Structure formats: C-alpha cells, structure tokens
Amino acid sequence: MVKRIRAGCCAVVLMISMLLISVCNTNAASDDLVLDGSYLTNDEESIGYDTKITRGEDLLTGYSKCVRLGPGKLYAGGTTIAAHTVANIQVSVVIERAQKGDTTWSMYTGWHKENTNVDRVGSNRTLLVEGGYYYRVRSIHSANSDLSSSFTDGVYIE
C-alpha cells in the first residue's frame, strides 16, 4: 500500500512539473530579424561562404563580403577560388537592400568579373549608398562549369 501511495505522489509531482514547464515562456537565442536567410544586423561586417550548387572538380570555394565603412559608405565584393588553374573563372556580385518590415530584398546594383587561365578572381568596390537600409552582398561563383553561390547577412548603413 505504501508503494502505491509513493508511486501516486510521484506521478502527481511529475504531472505538475510538466505543466509548469510547458507554460514557461522561452526566448529564442537571438531576437535578430531574418530576411531570406540573412540576419539583419548592426555588425560592422559580414562574410558569407559558398554553398555548392553543382558537384565538380574545378571550384574550390567562394565568398561574399560586406563592410560598413561609415554613414552612407559600403565596401562590397566577392571572390571565387578554383582548386587549380582553370580556363574560365568568374564572380558576379549583386548588392541588395531592405528595410525592417520588408518581405524581400531589392536589387541595388551589381557587376561581373571574369578571368582566364588563373585559379582565382575577386572584385570589390566602395559604394556611396543611401542610409536607413540593410545591405547585403550576394555572389555567384563559377570555375569552368562548376557553380556555387554565397551571401552575407544584412549590414545596417546609417
């Protein structure tokens, strides 16, 4: 009989503790907003590394970089690195911007660079941009027929 009372008390305590745990508010690890995979941050810089789209032997890696240089000033660029010297290597860099509350990124500007018979290509620019927006860099990387892409988080420009 004593064992049944103990088991019953343990069951009641377990049910009450489960109820208390389930009504507690939990907070996410970060309250940062996310737009199309990019966090909207107030960081000084953001670097995004590639995700392979095709499987191949030529493309090693690629990355995009976005740096806030000051109010209205942005450094942006992309780099593609091949595993060896290739006939054709390219990077296409697209600057996108958004404000809090937007549901998509809008294209701001972009450019393309191509090299032949080398193992890397990079292209960057310093831009004067309108403040009050988050800017991100999205790049498409290719070495011969291998492809990948990368993008940064959004960096706020005052």
Q: Nearest CA to 110 among 97, 95, 122? A: 95
Per-residue CA distances from 76 to 17, 37, 72, 105, 113 (Å): 52, 18, 13, 16, 14
Q: What domains sit in the chain, N to C, each tagged with a CATH number? A: 33-157 (2.60.40)
> Is-contact 109 142, C-beta < 8 A?
no
Residue 67 bridge partners (DSSP)? 45, 75
pLDDT at 15: 57
User: What phi and psi, each to the nearest 5 degrees, are found at residue 99?
Assistant: -115, 165
Q: How many CB atoms lie within 10 A of CB 74?
A: 22
- Mark residue 146 as left, alpha or beta (left: phi above 0; alpha: psi -120 to 50; beta: remaining): beta
Three-state DSSP class for residue 2:
helix
Given a contact cutoff of 8 angstroms between Cβ atoms, the answer to whether 20 and 38 are in contact is no
pLDDT at 16: 60
CB 23 within 8 A of CB 16: no
The answer to whether the beta carbons of residues 129 and 137 sit under 8 Å apart is: no
- Tokens matching residue 82: 């091949």
pTM to 2 decimals?
Answer: 0.78
Tens-digit pLDDT profile for the chain (158 aa)? 666 776 665 555 555 655 545 444 444 455 668 999 999 999 999 999 997 766 689 999 999 999 999 999 999 999 999 999 999 999 999 999 999 999 999 999 999 999 999 999 999 999 999 999 999 999 999 999 999 999 999 999 99
